[in-house]
């Protein structure tokens, strides 16, 4: 059974449009963002924590992390415990 709700932690380069690219990976798989926190980690890296609902395509966290990791702007992507 594929998880339909999960949480992700993503580190991304600090540049205009970086978050949009992350959200694009989710949107094209009909994944909705329920909660999102963005904070600056260093001058060059942002940290994003988000909870998502993935019940249309049911891509699953592993697939989403693989696709996110392929983005030029993503430094790292992992699944975390939903808070």
Partner 1 sequence: MVRVPTGADLLCDLLLEHGVEVLFGHPGGAILPFYDALHRKPTLRHILMRHEQAAAHAADGYSRATGKVGVCIATSGPGATNLVTGLATAMMDGVPVVAITGQVPLSVLGTDAFQETDIVGVTMPVTKHGFQINQMSDIPKMLSEAFSLAIEGRPGPVLIDFPKNIQAGMVSPELMTHLSGISLKGQEISDQKTGSKDRKIDSDVFQEVIALLDKSERPLLMVGRGAVEAGVTEQIRDLAERASLPVTATLLGLDGFQAEHRLSLGLPGMHGTERANMGIQNADLLIGLGCRFDDRVIGKVDEFAPKAKVVAFDINPSMPGRTIEPDIFLLGDLKDTLPVFAEGVSRKTHARWWDELKEWSREAEPNVDCSLKPGALGGRQAVRYLTRRVSDSDGIVCTDVGQHQMWVAQELPNVAPRSHLTSGGLGTMGYSLPAAIGAAVGCPERTVWVIAGDGGFQMNIQELATVVQENLGLRIAVINNQCLGMVRQWQESFYDRRYSAVALSGPNLDTIARAYGITGHVVDRAENLEEVLDFVSTEEGPVLLDLRISEEENVYPIVPSGTALHELVKGPSLPTEA
Query: Which residues make up the interface to partner 1 (CB under 8 A)?
Result: 13, 16-17, 20-21, 24, 28, 44-45, 62-63, 66-67, 69-76
- Shortest approach of partner 1 to residue 39 CB, angstroms? 17
DSSP track, 25-71: HHHTTTPEEEEEEEEE-SSSEEEEEEEEE--SS---HHHHHHHHHTS
Nearer to partner 1, 40 or 44 (CB): 44
CB of 25 to partner 1, least distance (A): 9
* Residue placing its CB nearer to partner 1 in the complex, 24 or 32: 24
Residue 13's closest CA among 42, 51, 49?
42
């Amino acid at each position: 059974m594929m998880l339909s709700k999960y949480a992700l932690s993503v580190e991304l380069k600090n540049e205009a449009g970086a978050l949009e690219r992350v959200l694009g990976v989710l949107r094209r798989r009909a994944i909705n963002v329920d909660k999102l926190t963005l904070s600056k980690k260093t001058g060059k890296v942002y940290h994003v924590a988000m909870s998502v609902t993935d019940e249309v395509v049911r891509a699953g966290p592993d697939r989403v992390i693989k696709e996110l990791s392929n983005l030029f702007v993503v430094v790292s992507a992992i699944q975390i415990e939903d808070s």
